Amino acid sequence: MQWERLNQKDFKKALIKSKRVCVIPVGVLEKHGSHAAIGTDLLAVRAIACAAAKIEPVVVFPEYYFSQIYEARHQIGTIAIKPELLLKLLENVCDEIARNGFLKIILLNGHGGNRHFLPFFCQTLLSQKKSYMVYLADMGFDRQKELKEIMDSDEDMHAGEIESSLMAFLDESLFKREYVPSKPSLSLNRMKDLNSNIYTAIWWYSMFPMHYGGDARSASSQKGKKFFEFFTNHVVQVFRSVKKNKTGPLLLKEFYSKTNHGGLI
């Protein structure tokens, strides 16, 4: 059930069928090596969300490319939204989704660069009372052991075997095999003089300035199909878990009720 494809009558039916759950597949516009589409993250996560929604019904929000990608501003094709607008836009979208009748919103992340932004966004929603609850999940990239069973390459950080295979499976025009580098791209490790537990915003650029990390030479549409099915099954479980969750909304309501101390402190 894709939001933009529903008519008004079907939209009302979709609210009931989805149990008032909407998913926003979150992607970004950034370079994916020289061979994969700039919109790889969104193209993959939205296709997976739509496939999962056919199994476990939720309403899938339209393309959402607006997330954190400042580390790629030196690469052509990147769209990096100002920080304050980034937060306000996503909150505004969530508010509007709720105004249309949804009680639960899933942010399904398809972009590694959101690992700090999206959790922080979720926390900011506690600053004022909302009628909805937001859940954050990714499409299954953390299940590395299982993904390794499909892979041939040892390292896969960005635009490597997994993402390139997904693009080849979804649409061959999204993966240009003739542009794949002849050698794998490994971390340059240019900040080895800094303790590994110290964070700096330039960490990704220090390792992969060309926005390619891994080896796409072994990518194929056949593997892409396996990856796609793996991620879809994972996301189906995410949808089911969120739909069944009762304690979260109750605890959120309880929390909001206790934030107004009535001048007692």
Average pLDDT over residues 170-181: 96
Residue 215, token pair as written in the block:
């080896």
| Band of residue 264 on the pLDDT scale cut at 50, 70, 90 | low
Residue 163, token pair as written in the block:
């993402």
CATH number corresponding to 3-257: 3.40.50.10310
| Band of residue 260 on the pLDDT scale cut at 50, 70, 90 | confident
pLDDT tens track for 69-86: 999 999 999 999 999 999
How far apart are the C-alpha atoms of 114 and 42, rounded to whole Å? 12
pLDDT at 265 > cutoff 90: no
pLDDT at 256 > cutoff 70: yes
Ranges of each domain in the chain: 3-257
pLDDT the model gives residue 162 = 97
**Could you identify the residue written with the tokens 């933009």?**
4
How far apart are the C-alpha atoms of 180 and 176, rounded to whole Å? 7
pLDDT at 237 > cutoff 90: yes
pLDDT at 189 > cutoff 60: yes
How far apart are the C-alpha atoms of 254 and 265, rounded to whole Å? 19
pLDDT at 261 > cutoff 80: no
pLDDT the model gives residue 168 = 98
pLDDT the model gives residue 154 = 87
Q: How far apart are the first and last CA of the chain?
A: 48
pLDDT the model gives residue 134 = 98
How far apart are the C-alpha atoms of 71 and 206, rounded to whole Å? 10
pLDDT the model gives residue 4 = 97
User: pTM of the predicted model, to two decimals?
Assistant: 0.95
Task: State percent of the chain over pLDDT 90.
Answer: 94
